[in-house]
Amino acid sequence: MNIDAHQHFWRYNEREYGWMGPGMDILKKDHLPSDLAPLLQSVGFDGTVAVQARQVVEETRWLLDLADQQLFIKGIVGWVDLCSLQLRGQLEQFAYHPKLRGVRHVLHDEPDDRFMLRDAFVRGIAMLAEFDLTYDLLLFPKHLPLACELATRFPHQRFVLDHIAKPPIKARRLEPWAKDIRQLAQFPNVFCKVSGMVTEADWQTWAPADLVPYLDVVFAAFGAERIMIGSDWPVCTVAAPYARVMSIVVDYIQQFSPDEQKMILGDNACRFYSIQG
């Protein structure tokens, strides 16, 4: 299967999606499976992993309901309060559902850069293995050394880095992001999603060539065995339509063998998230 390993759904309201700022009017409407299905078909992809966009338990329940209705939604990365003393109960609410494959917290919006190393958060991460759940790392470049420390503490927990940690593509800077990416990639339990790049570039004027230096770093660091393609739809549409976003990675990996391309386009996502079909 070809799997888009990172996309979102929402029913828009201003209160819960206040992060949509200037220039993001295209996002300020409902984005549902019926909107994504024809886009997937147009690029020859079979399924997706839908990732949380709200930090409420109801988000996880809603995404799982969508996954029950739509076969192409192969996995859900939901939200639970990893710092809560009631975390076990929250996880047990959803443990029955075969499509809950991981959880995520919007770490890069926390005022405390070291939030992921707080005792309460670390206790939450420690509980995920019991429920066979992965963890998506949503970070800025400044958080990468802290992610290395987290990965050191949990060598058997499956982590995946979202959006290649949002490097300063518009400013055309590679360091220290590239050095820290190479450090994080040394942990074999950490994967990487090549997603979210166009929204870190200049939305109006970006070209594929602007992204190649960042793709070169990520592929050299993680290898074809731990990279998965993701669109970040519909967020990506502020900078480019779905098909153009997906073509960035599809075109770039033509230099790799057919088996390596299969890994990047779906096999790695299926392996990481334990997607069966």
Q: Is the pLDDT of residue 277 over 80?
A: no
pLDDT of residue 147: 98
Given a contact cutoff of 8 angstroms between Cβ atoms, the answer to whether 78 and 60 are in contact is yes
- Please compute the mean of the pLDDT values over residues 114-135 and round it to a whole number: 97
Given a contact cutoff of 8 angstroms between Cβ atoms, the answer to whether 128 and 157 are in contact is yes
Share of the chain above pLDDT 70, in %: 100
pLDDT of residue 276: 84
Pairing of strands 3-7, 159-161: unpaired
pLDDT of residue 214: 98
**What is the rounded CA–CA span in Å between residue 132 and residue 69?**
23
Q: Is the pLDDT of residue 32 over 90?
A: yes
Query: What is the three-class DSSP state of 147?
Result: helix
pLDDT of residue 45: 98
pLDDT of residue 77: 98
Q: Is the pLDDT of residue 46 over 80?
A: yes
Domain count, the chain: 1
Q: Give the count of alpha carbons within 13 A of 231, CB side only.
A: 29
User: Which amino acid is present at 171?
Assistant: A
Among candidates 70, 136, 142, which has minimal Cα distance to 99?
70
Given a contact cutoff of 8 angstroms between Cβ atoms, the answer to whether 252 and 215 are in contact is yes
**What is the rounded CA–CA span in Å between residue 275 and residue 268?**
10
Domain that holds residue 252: 3-273
- pLDDT tens digits, one per residue of 138-195: 999 999 999 999 999 999 999 999 999 999 999 999 999 999 999 999 999 999 999 9
The answer to which of 14-23, 48-57, 212-221, 263-272 has the lowest mean pLDDT is 14-23
User: Which amino acid is present at 90?
Assistant: Q
Q: What is the mean pLDDT of the chain?
A: 97
Quick one: tokens of 20?
Answer: 């949509």
Q: Give the count of alpha carbons within 13 A of 245, CB side only.
A: 29
CATH classification of the domain holding 45: 3.20.20.140
- pLDDT tens digits, one per residue of 181-193: 999 999 999 999 9
User: Which amino acid is present at 27?
Assistant: L
Q: Which residues of 41-77 are buried (b: 16+ CB within 10 A; e: fewer)?
A: eebebbbbbbbbbbeebebbebbbeebeebebbbbbb
**What is the rounded CA–CA span in Å between residue 6 and residue 201?**
18
Cβ-proximal residues to 216 (8 Å cutoff; 6+ apart), any chain: none
- Please compute the mean of the pLDDT values over residues 84-101 and round it to a whole number: 95
Q: Where are the alpha helices (DSSP H) in 7-141?
A: 33-42, 57-69, 87-94, 119-128
pLDDT band at 265; cut points 50, 70, 90: very high
- pLDDT tens digits, one per residue of 237-246: 999 999 999 9
